[in-house]
Amino acid sequence: MNSREGRGGAAVVLSIAGFQDGQLSLRFPFDWAIVQAMKSVPGNSWWSDADAWILTIRPGIVDLLLEALYDTGLFHAGDPLDLDAAAALFSQSESVPIPQVEATPIPQVEPASIPQDEAASTPQVGPASSPQVGPASIPQVEAASIPQVGPGSIPQVEAASIPEAASSRQVEVPSIRRASTSGHGSDGLLASFRYALEVRHYSPRTMAAYSQWVGRFLAFHGGAELTSLGEREINHFLTQLAVGDKVSSSTQNQALAAILFLFRTVLGRPIGELGDVVRAKKPLRLPVVLTREEVRLVLANMRGDKWLVAKLLYGSGLRLMECLGLRIQDLDFEAMQILIRNGKGAKDRVTMVPATLVSPLRDHIMRVKVTHDHDLAEGWGEVPLPGALGRKYPSASIEWQWQWIFPQERRWKNGETGKEGRYHMDEALMQRAVHEAVLKAGVHKRASCHTFRHSFATHLLESGYDIRTVQELLGHSDVKTTMIYTHVLNRGPSGVRSPADGL
């Protein structure tokens, strides 16, 4: 492969080495493009003690890494990679031996006898002259080719020597999840579990909740091998949750879903009937709803952007994170509608913009624009983009349409790179503001941010709107979920005259 110089004029040197079972370490001089490429690859982490990026080996991860590095423009492809030797590097966790190659020995060459300006003219080694390759025998290779890597070695790789991801053959990386069933003391199993959730596009909150439940399940049966765990052990854990911890039925069901995902998807082991599991009782709860007067009192005790968020929660029926995650392009004043992207259940939907909020929203967006222009003038102004859009559109993160409608007041700062940007308002700030407003208003109900959404649906039904329309505005998949708000209508106990009133 031909070498290419880095941004500063000198070649960028990137070191790759086996780190631990199922992991690689990568070291390179700081370059923001390479850092962004590393962050785009799942399963990476920065370990300051080793001064290196640690990458967990997963199926297809090599292709993702090479593609991300190639997209930086710092690397280019040359001669085809010896994929059989490369596969040996990424199969350390499976202990796959590297095949011996019968070859004519190559005379040893002293490093000092090869001038650097002749590195590009080093003859290529063909199949008839390849030395034997083993963990303790690594041939010396010049900058124009890919080094053979054995366990424990840290080869120096020129920037130009990273090939593009599209090769003539795929490198099959063994899955670490099958190799981790003999014990769960290491993080390999949980890493595979999180990866399985990630590739299936589970939400970050679901991934965090499921990982927590799997960790608790493994800790509950501490010391036992996964091969010995089955239906009986799952029953014991779920029963303990219901009887000992007295969790709700939804919490118990979430734990069960996480454990079943572990066994069926990650470990590839079917789970049969669970038998007599003690189930937590599922109560029928009615939502807390504020009257129109109580909503006015609560909103009267809020100020600034917190008031605007609360008014939007009530006026449009948004969930809290749906509201805080709104971007400039999601608000359409011409059509008087809001586009909620990737809502609960990964669904998009449309709801209305309250007419009374058009002017306050325009004024607020003007102030956000001033803040964004100030950030751009200081060299920042970036916001996180969903999925892989940041790689597809590198400059989109500073464009106006992608900015948050409710950005945080202070910029975040990356301690490693020094880069600064803004995220949306933290949900805890809004939750605290609503709680304080409810107390000041003297409303004696257990109201929260989500209570505004309940009140939105209830007041629409009271006004005579069709329940199907309310269902679509709320984004419910089943109308049965929306039916719970009919308890406030003139039916049932509220529609019956008490006999005491006739005395």
Catalytic residues: 319, 344, 450, 453, 476, 485
What is the rounded (10 degree) CA torsion for 176, 56, 187, 181? 0
The residue type at 436:
E
How far is Cα 224 from Cα 454, in angstroms, rounded to an integer?
Answer: 46
- Give how far Cα 215 sits from Cα of 169, 229, 258, 261, Å: 37, 14, 10, 13
DSSP letters for 368-380: HHHHHHHHHHTT-
43 torsion bin: left (phi>0), alpha (psi -120 to 50), beta (else): left
Residues 6+ apart with CB under 8 A from 421: 375, 380, 381, 382, 383, 384, 397, 411, 412
Tokens standing for 222?
A: 């501490």
Write down the residue that tokens 């799942």 correspond to.
42
How far is Cα 434 from Cα 450, in angstroms, rounded to an integer?
Answer: 10
Tokens standing for 244?
A: 């000992």
Tokens standing for 385?
A: 């983009």
Tokens standing for 413?
A: 């700062």
CB 164 within 8 A of CB 4: no
Long-range contacts of 117-124, Cβ-Cβ distance < 8 Å, separation of 24 or more = 119/143, 119/144, 120/2, 120/3, 120/144, 124/79
CB 90 within 8 A of CB 62: yes
Helix (H, G, I), strand (E, B) or coil at 258: helix
CA nearest to 69, candidates 99, 44, 94, 105: 44
Classify each residue of 294-320 as buried b or exposed e, where b means 16 or more C-beta atoms within 10 Å of its C-beta. bbebbbebbeebbbbbbbbbbbbbbbb
Which helix H or strand E contains 12, and what residues bound it? none
